[in-house]
Homo-oligomer: A and B are copies of this chain.
């Protein structure tokens, strides 16, 4: 007698087609001893307010048993008030705490915002290059990606408008307001106003992501999109200003979108961990602390931007095409005659990692010779050493190519 072969089920088409995140995969590499990681946008751990958080955690658990119980889906009321106050300044209009929904980091904010504005098969416009966490979650939602390029450091809205007039139909467009990841683009007031006009004329949503807002080095940011239109879902995060491991982000939304977001959040994880929320709320009770804390973050990351720019200039000279960013965590540039995806393998062998430009492609021109280098996590000396290792890998790649040419 033969036993029947058990039928093993497959995974869903949707899940099979979700791409992996290069940055997440590189995180594992970053834990190899001796590896210098220029890959992830990991904040400098010494900036975490450890003493304040440790005492807040002890007190919250001891005195407020509620932080261990099931909690409201919308989020901690005290935290929502703090976020509403912050967003009121950001958007130059009064934001109601009732319109704030706390999320498990801004990655969840992105996933849920995408779910609320678009159905599988819909097209979403995104900047090219684009933050790859956004590309991943939009892909997972079955959305078609439509690239919007840049011109003179701003989104090319002439081109987008022509496409919209020509029949391009989008329920939503994703933008990063300040120090866009990877390319550092910062939307100015004229761009914001024009985005608002286009969104209202063609009836689409703007998903405005702004995780790097506080990390400006020269000029403070302009008023956000909510100041110009109601067709916007505003996404924020404490990952770059307080601590990413707590996973606290948010969305501001009104009307039907707010109700739909709450239902999606119920279905996704009921609510964001209550202790994480209470810790952030405790810190924000002291507004003076947040202001001076973000002041020191700006000073720290500006000095690292300088160190990175110096290392790149010294090491590569004019071979690395790059404009030093005016904020955020990333240097983004092009290495002449280098396939940066091929370079990565050699760089790992040299003990350094970065993210190749191809990972950020959103359907626009190839970014195969571009790369993103984070200056957030390492000291100035380590940044110099990291860039030196990248250069060593480039040399080996050049030598390989020359020997191939010689033998062919």
Contacts and interface: CB of A to CB of B under 8 A. Distances in A.
A357 interface: no
A244 interface: yes
Contacts of A319: none
Nearest to A278: B245
Contact of A268 (B67, B111, B243): B111
A263 B15 contact: yes
A116 B13 CA distance: 8
Given A10-B256, A276-B275, A133 B270 contact: yes
A10 to B, nearest CB: 7
A69 B50 contact: no
Contact of A50 (B40, B68, B260): B68
A312 interface: no
Given A72-B27, A115-B12, A256-B11, A266 B136 contact: yes
A299 to B, nearest CB: 20
A396 interface: no
A181 interface: no
Interface string A50-63: 11011101111110
Interface residues of A, number: 98
Contacts of A284: none
Contacts of A346: none
Contact of A260 (B18, B115, B172, B261): B18
A204 B15 contact: no
A57 B48 CA distance: 15
Nearest to A230: B8
A257 interface: yes
Q: How many copies does the complex hold?
A: 2
A9 interface: yes
A9 B203 contact: yes
Contact of A7 (B50, B51, B68, B201): B201
A269 B203 contact: no
B70 A245 contact: yes
Given A104-B247, A133-B267, 5 more contacts: A6-B200, A10-B256, A27-B72, A58-B58, A137-B267
A338 B16 CA distance: 47
A315 interface: no
A373 to B, nearest CB: 17
A61 B57 contact: yes
A71 B27 CA distance: 8
B264 A15 contact: yes
Contacts of A9: 117, 171-172, 199, 203-205, 231
A364 interface: no
Nearest to A28: B72
Contacts of A204: 9
A65 B270 CA distance: 27
Given A11-B116, A54-B62, A276-B275, A111 B69 contact: no
